[in-house]
Amino acid sequence: MASSESLPTDKTTTLSQWVKQVNNYSSQYDNTSWAARCIIGEPKVYPEYGDIAGAWAMEDQDANQFIEIEYEEAVYITGIDIYETYHAGGVVAVKALDEYNKWRCLFSAERPQVIKTSRIFKPDIPVDPPPSMNDLVNDLQITVNNPHFSDCQFLIEDKYTLYAHKVIICARSDYFKAMFCDNTQESQSLKPIVIKDVCRDSFMAVLHYLYTNKLPDVPQYTCMMLTDVWRVADRLKMEGLKRLAVFVISLQINEHNVVDTYVHAAETLPIIEEVKTNCVVYMSSNLPKIVNTPSFTQLPQEVMLEIIQGTTAKLQIIWRNSSRDASKSEELSPNPEFPHSSKPEELSPDPEFPHSSKPEELSPDPEFPHSSKPEELSPDPEFPHSSKPEELSPNPEFPHSSKPEELSPDPEFPHSSKPEELSPNPEGSKGM
């Protein structure tokens, strides 16, 4: 089992990695429990000691045993850990394949050792790290505006001559590549090329970026100056320098320079929208401090109003987003028993009738649960289907009469609807 600690070929941080695959080996005890592939990945036996399955073991016992392993990423090796779990001390050489496809010896020992315990063997490896990219940047920085070996010059502000190298600036900029192509006036002239409407510091920033991919680390490159650098980069079609300028401005903004930075970004064409937005975002969080600064109080009224309106609009967006989030939270049911109800106040308080949205309409009588208006129920249990108990006949002998007042008072003539027309003489139907 082995891991490496090393410097990646294209990075400056330390990388630790386990074995990815086995490319070759001399022998293995079997193809399962003690196979060569057991060395892949993290340890499976360590810190245990013994003849335990899960670690690579050789079938042959001689001085010609080896294993060739590969890692995920090619690196400059600064250290290697070898996990030994049985008969430790048997490693006598460690080699690595270099960038020229040659094996280089990193460690060697005259004879093996016999150690009756498990261990992590860390051989002493001579560290020979690659040259840093900073070395290249520092070397190229020396050549910025250096007349030695320069093959082109630029005249800035009609008085400053700046020096450059065509091979570098053409490789880094399509603008200068087109300028110095065949048969152009600039490519044929031996005189300095005049660059108009650009200050010396801004053009120096352009050259410094072309040579080092960085901006000059000097105090004069303030946020306001970097807005000028951005416009020169826009003119020269240098998108990378534009992004770098915006990024550095965002890091340098504070309550003392944000107003002036906003004005520089907004009042000269082309307007730098990214810088304006960054300034508004900063001012929206620090407006009470900013309105009392001299740079703000001395602004023209229309510019002051523009800043306040932009900051207020930003605050309104933030407030609306916060209110929207709050309203969504309030609509959620606080009762875990009814998670899908958005208005818990409409739920029935009676668990026997969970589907009723208006508990006040439920019948108070459990014998008639389906009646929505309990006041219409008959008080007499013998006539449960009558909705108007006042129309029931008081006489139980005539339950089907809806008007008891029309019944005959004489039981001998039950079918007469008008008792006043009956003859008072029971022996005849008409009186003499």
In the chain, the percentage of residues whose pLDDT exceeds 70 is: 69
Residue 8: pLDDT band by 50, 70, 90 thresholds?
A: low
Q: In what order do the strands lie in the sheet with 160-164?
A: 160-164, 152-156, 193-195
Rounded Cα gap, residues 122 and 129, in angstroms? 18
DSSP string computed for 106-161: EEE-SS---BSS-EEE-------PPPPHHHHHHHHHHTTT--TT--EEEEETTTEE
Query: What backbone phi and psi angles, to 5 degrees, belong to 66?
Result: -155, 165
Helices (H), 152-272: 166-172, 174-179, 185-188, 200-212, 223-235, 239-252, 258-266
pLDDT, tens digit (0-9, with 9 covering 90-100), for 295-324: 888 888 877 787 777 777 766 665 566 666
Residue 267: pLDDT band by 50, 70, 90 thresholds?
A: confident
Helix (H, G, I), strand (E, B) or coil at 340: coil
Give the model's pLDDT for residue 420: 43
Helices 223-235/200-212 angle, 10° precision = 70
Rounded Cα gap, residues 318 and 303, in angstroms? 23
**pLDDT(88) > 60:** yes
**Alpha carbon of 170 to those of 180, 197, 226: distances in Å?**
8, 22, 23
pLDDT, tens digit (0-9, with 9 covering 90-100), for 199-223: 999 999 999 999 999 999 888 899 9
Give the model's pLDDT for residue 95: 93
Encoding tokens for residue 402?
């809806």
In the chain, the percentage of residues whose pLDDT exceeds 90 is: 46
Higher-confidence residue of 8 and 98: namely: 98
pLDDT, tens digit (0-9, with 9 covering 90-100), for 127-167: 766 677 888 888 999 999 999 999 999 999 999 999 999 99
Please say whether the dihedral angle defined by the alpha carbons of residues 206, 211, 215 and 217, taken in this order, is positive or negative: negative
Residue 390: pLDDT band by 50, 70, 90 thresholds?
A: very low
Long-range CB pairs of 319-322, under 8 A, 24+ apart, other chains included: none
Give the model's pLDDT for residue 343: 45
Give the mean pLDDT of 65-81.
91
Residue 361 corresponds to which amino acid?
A: E
Give the model's pLDDT for residue 100: 84
**pLDDT(341) > 50:** no
pLDDT, tens digit (0-9, with 9 covering 90-100), for 93-113: 999 998 888 998 999 998 999
Q: Which residues pair with 81 in a beta bridge?
A: 3
Higher-confidence residue of 343 and 46: namely: 46
CA atoms within 13 Å, Cβ hemisphere of 281? 8
**Contact present, 376 and 363 (Cβ < 8 Å):** no
